[in-house]
Amino acid sequence: MSQHFKQDIVIIGAGAAGLTLALELADTHRVAILTKADIREGSTLYAQGGVAAVLSDKDTVDSHIRDTIDAGVELGDPEAIRFTVEHSKASIDWLIDQGVPFTRYGSGDEYHLTKEGGHSHRRIIHSADATGRAISKTLIKNALNHPNIQFFPDRVAIDVVTTTKLGIPGESRAIGVYALNLENDSIEVFSGNHITLACGGSSKVYLYTSNPDTASGDGIAMAWRAGCRVANMEFNQFHPTCLYDAKAKTFLISEAVRGEGGKLLLPDGSSFMHKFDPRGELAPRDIVARAIDHEMKRLGINHVMLDISHKDEHFIKEHFPNIYKLCLEYGHDITKKPIPVVPAAHYTCGGVVVDQHSATDVAHLYAIGETAYTGLHGANRLASNSLLECVVYARSAAEKILNSKAAELDISIPDWDESKVTDSDEDVVIAHNWQELRRFMWDYVGIVRTDKRLLRAKHRVDLLHSEIQEFYANYKISSDLLELRNLAVVAHLIIKSAMSRKESRGLHFTLDYPEKLPNSQPTILTPKQ
């Protein structure tokens, strides 16, 4: 017998997007927030740089729009870009009202703005070099203090429950979620009038990633199975600079380090970015990542170096206190010498197709944050536009939900049926498939692609998918199995999208089609009903 929970709003994920939506709705709605691990764990926590917004008299909305279009290699949706940028200041004001401690100039009232790759102005408002942590900590504190918000940690969402899946005729509508309770291995049912996927991206599909372990594409896979379109899944952003250290695992070195003068060097101390782009270290991330990848393959090296040590020691410690501290823990003093860095999968620019209010193709199902495809990022995300997108579209979704007049459906979601499954004694199969999938995605569908590599990846993911489905149908589910199932779906979507794009644009670079097409459209995939 499954335990049932009923709320007005069910949100899966407690990053900037999910928390913003919850706080905007909680005064009038009962909100449940499900998280896979501790409520503080998620991609927002690890975001270092800041939030891009037009906050200076020297900056303009049109300039921010142009930079976003340029970084996205003219594949972004102009309406989505303008909508986001025009709501940027209001979003920052909202975060400030929530109590986010953004960094100021000295002891004055003026906020410090930094500059990152692809931006033509200083427009990144930040909290030292741990902006995501500051936002996460503030919003979680406010959510925990709100009587209408209830957290359910250690819950892994399995699937969205829709009226179509229950055999109810008419328009497909989301009415709930099945979730695995990791504390007791039971399956619970969460029902709500509105369901929101705020689960983050899918960078864990790659062997090396800057993301936390929770970023396994759950929201994208669940939405696809529920009948939602996805778009631009071929565009996976690789952050150019993650600390190359086995112990560090996924520690990201903020782009702001390069924004404040950090130089990329080869092992012999020579610079190389000027050979690839006149903007050098401040070129967009796709260009920097490809340049590093090129030099690593050309020289047969495992990493390049990032050097900020020529700057004043006090300046470095003041601007990058967390990066300085954590690098020092691993034996790298950034004030004295260059540090080893390597690209790693960082951000999913595609996702679940949504409208301006974050609504998906399924009624009452929303997707926000990195799970969603709004059209903002195009073929490459401009630095620090992601946290902005989280807040803008979460608040827009809240506006639609608050104005919704839809009646609550009186439908009872059935208990989870485990009557025909058994305990697995073959967990080694899951572990092996997990490693195989992430390895071939890194080797064949990484920073540089070819038709032959993509075809090899497709053959392997097709075989894995059938194995995983058989496992899922016959054995009791586990967190690892659910994540593997979702990663296989996401891998399939990435490969299919990459195979359909016969050009190189932004984050999708293929040796078989190295040029851009004169006219290009987003890649949109529709699930079979």
DSSP letter assigned to residue 271: B
Give the Cα separation of 118 and 67 in Å (integer): 6
Question: Long-range CB contacts (< 8 A, 24+ apart) of 264-271?
Answer: 264/240, 264/288, 264/291, 264/292, 264/304, 264/305, 264/306, 264/307, 264/341, 265/304, 265/305, 265/306, 265/307, 265/338, 266/295, 266/299, 266/301, 266/304, 266/305, 267/299, 267/301, 267/304, 267/305, 269/305
Give the Cα separation of 117 and 121 in Å (integer): 10
User: Of 400, 269, 272, which is closest to residue 338 (Cα–Cα)?
Assistant: 269
Hey, which bits of 20-84 come out as E strands? 31-34, 51-52
Can you say whether residue 136 is alpha, beta or left, with left for phi > 0 and alpha for psi between -120 and 50 degrees? alpha
Protein fold of 4-234+349-402: FAD/NAD(P)-binding domain (3.50.50)
Protein fold of 239-345: Flavocytochrome C3; Chain A, domain 1 (3.90.700)
Q: What is the dihedral of CA 464, 466, 470, 476, to 10 degrees?
A: 50
Over the chain (529 residues), what is each successive 10-residue block's mean pLDDT? 92 96 97 88 69 94 96 96 97 96 83 88 89 92 97 96 93 96 95 96 89 88 98 94 81 86 95 95 85 89 94 93 92 95 92 98 97 97 93 98 81 86 76 90 91 97 91 88 95 98 95 95 93
Give the Cα separation of 241 and 305 in Å (integer): 9
pLDDT at 43: 65
Give the Cα separation of 505 and 508 in Å (integer): 5
pLDDT at 429: 82
- For the purposes of burial, counting CB atoms within 10 Å of the CB of 387, is it exposed (0-12), middle (13-18) or buried (19 or more)? buried
* Helix, strand or coil, per DSSP, at residue 110: coil
173, 409 in Cβ contact below 8 A? yes
Read off the pTM.
0.89
End-to-end Cα, the chain, rounded Å: 30
pLDDT at 421: 77
Tell me the CA distances in angstroms from 227 to 174, 219, 220, 222, one per residue in order.
10, 12, 11, 9
Hey, which bits of 182-235 come out as E strands? 186-191, 194-197, 230-231
pLDDT at 453: 94
Identity of residue 409 = L
pLDDT at 357: 98
pLDDT at 45: 63
Protein fold of 427-515: Methane Monooxygenase Hydroxylase; Chain G, domain 1 (1.20.58)
Give the Cα separation of 165 and 362 in Å (integer): 12
Other beta carbons within 10 angstroms of residue 460's beta carbon come to 18
pLDDT at 215: 85
Give bridge partners of residue 345 from the DSSP assignment. 209, 238
pLDDT at 42: 67
The vertex-189 CA angle with 186 and 195, nearest 5°, equals 135
Backbone Cα Rg of the chain: 22
Active site residues: 285
pLDDT at 108: 73
As a whole number of angstroms, the longest Cα–Cα distance in the chain is 69
Q: How is the chain split into domains, by residue range?
A: 4-234+349-402, 239-345, 427-515
pLDDT at 209: 85
211, 200 in Cβ contact below 8 A? yes
